[in-house]
Amino acid sequence: MEGDQVYTDKQLVIQRTGAPGELSITGAIDYYNAESVAAVVAGELAAGAGGAAQLSDAISGNGDLHIDLRHLEFTDVTGIRALVQVAENAGNGRRLVLRGLPSRIRMVMGVVGWGDIPNLVIEEPAEEPTTE
């Protein structure tokens, strides 16, 4: 189901990347679509928690939902809070892993303490290779 769009509106597209348990978010999250984004992300997180996927996760140790946010153009605090709430409500040891989160948003999440939620992982960006 690579590239399957799981949500779209005038300013945002959420799609599966093709790898199990991975989504990509492109566009903007704000007050108007934050609730829908949270519902979609929570549904994807829950969908990976049952049946054969649960057995596979138990073997591999990875029941996480990874979200690529490199193409997130904007989010307000409502959008950030929507993702945080999904992580807070994740069960069965599942986690929400945010990768490519813009530095300004990582900073805000750290200041308000949202970066310390056990079921939320904010991946640090890969370091750029230095040329000497």
pLDDT of residue 60: 44
28: which strand partners? 74
Q: Residue 7's pLDDT is what?
A: 97
Is 129 a domain residue?
no
Q: What pTM did the predictor assign?
A: 0.83
Residue 130 within a domain? no
Q: Which residue range is the domain that position 58 belongs to?
A: 5-122
**Res 130: pLDDT:** 59
Beta bridge partners of 72: 27
Q: Which residue has the tokens 């809070």?
A: 81
Q: Is residue 53 part of a domain?
A: yes
Identify whether 127 is part of a domain. no
Number of domains forming the structure of the chain: 1
Instruction: For residue 75, give the nearest of 114, 127, 110, 30 by alpha carbon.
Output: 30
Sites in the chain below the pLDDT cut of 50: 1, 51-53, 55-61
* 112 token code pair: 């308000």
Both tokens of residue 78? 């409502």
Amino acid identity for residue 14 in this structure = I
In a domain, 19, yes or no: yes
- CATH at residue 112: 3.30.750.24
